[in-house]
C-alpha cells in the first residue's frame, strides 16, 4: 500500500528538472501542482526564475498544465499572466483532473510527468493513475490550513521510506 506514495523520482526543486532530460525521455507534457511546488502557497505571481524555467520548457516543446486543489481565483491569478492552462478544485488524489490535463495537452500518460510537493495528493494521485511522478521539496516551510494535516501524515510515510532505504529525502539533494 505504501508503494503508492513512493514517487518515481524526487528532487530538491523544479529547477533540478531539466527540459533536455525530459525531452530525452520522450516527455511532452508536465502536470504540475501550484502551491509550494512552483511558488509559495501565498505568493500570487511567478518569480523571474520560474518564468525562465517555464520558457525553457516551451522552447523544448514541453507543454505545462497546472492542476491544483485550490480555488479558481487563486489558480487563475497565477496562471493567466503566464498563459498556462489550469484545472482548479482538482480533487487530487482522484485521477479525473490528471486525465483531463493529458487530454488538454494532447499527450499520453507515457509522455507526461506529474510534479508536486505532496505525497497524499500529487504522488498518490499520479501513481494511482499510472503516471511517472516527481516529488519536490516544498518551496515554503509554511502551509495552508488543510495541507498542515497532510504534512503530519507525510512525515510518517517519509520516515518509513527512509528506514527501508527507499528514499533519501534532503540528504542527497
* Reported confidence tier of residue 160, pLDDT bands at 50, 70, 90: confident
Phi-psi label, residue 61: left if phi above 0, alpha if psi -120 to 50, beta otherwise: left
- pLDDT higher than threshold 70 for residue 146: no
Q: Delimit the domains of the chain by residue range.
A: 2-167
CATH, range 2-167? 3.40.50.1000
What pLDDT does residue 116 have?
97
Nearest Cα to Cα of residue 173 among 137, 127, 130: 137
What pLDDT does residue 75 have?
97
Q: Encode pLDDT of 78-132 as tens digits.
A: 999 999 999 999 999 999 999 999 999 999 999 999 999 999 999 999 999 999 9
- pLDDT higher than threshold 60 for residue 172: no
- Return the residue matching grid coordinates 498556462: 84
What pLDDT does residue 165 have?
84
* Cα angle, residue 109 at apex, residues 93 and 103 outer, rounded to 5°: 85
- The answer to whether 113 touches 21, Cβ cutoff 8 Å, is no
**Stated pTM of the model:** 0.89
What pLDDT does residue 169 have?
61
| Bridging pattern class, strands 29-32 and 132-136 | unpaired
Please classify residue 54 by burial: count the beta carbons closer than 10 Å to its beta carbon, then call 0-12 exposed, 13-18 middle and 19+ buried. buried
* Reported confidence tier of residue 161, pLDDT bands at 50, 70, 90: confident
Mean pLDDT (whole number) for 163-169: 79
What does the alpha-carbon distance between residue 101 and residue 86 come to, in Å, rounded to a whole number? 8
Amino acid at each position: 500500500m505504501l508503494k503508492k506514495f513512493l514517487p518515481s523520482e524526487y528532487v530538491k526543486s523544479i529547477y533540478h528538472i531539466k527540459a533536455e532530460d525530459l525531452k530525452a525521455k520522450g516527455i511532452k507534457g508536465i502536470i504540475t501542482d501550484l502551491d509550494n511546488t512552483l511558488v509559495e502557497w501565498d505568493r500570487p505571481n511567478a518569480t523571474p526564475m520560474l518564468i525562465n524555467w517555464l520558457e525553457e520548457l516551451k522552447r523544448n516543446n514541453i507543454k505545462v498544465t497546472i492542476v491544483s486543489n485550490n480555488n479558481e481565483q487563486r489558480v487563475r491569478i497565477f496562471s493567466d499572466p503566464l498563459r498556462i492552462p489550469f484545472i482548479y478544485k482538482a480533487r487530487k488524489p482522484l485521477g479525473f483532473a490528471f486525465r483531463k490535463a493529458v487530454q488538454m495537452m494532447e499527450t499520453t500518460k507515457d509522455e507526461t510527468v506529474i510534479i508536486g510537493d505532496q505525497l497524499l495528493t500529487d504522488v498518490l494521485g499520479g501513481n494511482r493513475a499510472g503516471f511517472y511522478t516527481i516529488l519536490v521539496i516544498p518551496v515554503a516551510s509554511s502551509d495552508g490550513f488543510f495541507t498542515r494535516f497532510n504534512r503530519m501524515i507525510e512525515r510518517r510515510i517519509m520516515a518509513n521510506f527512509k528506514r527501508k532505504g527507499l528514499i533519501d529525502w534532503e540528504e542527497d539533494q
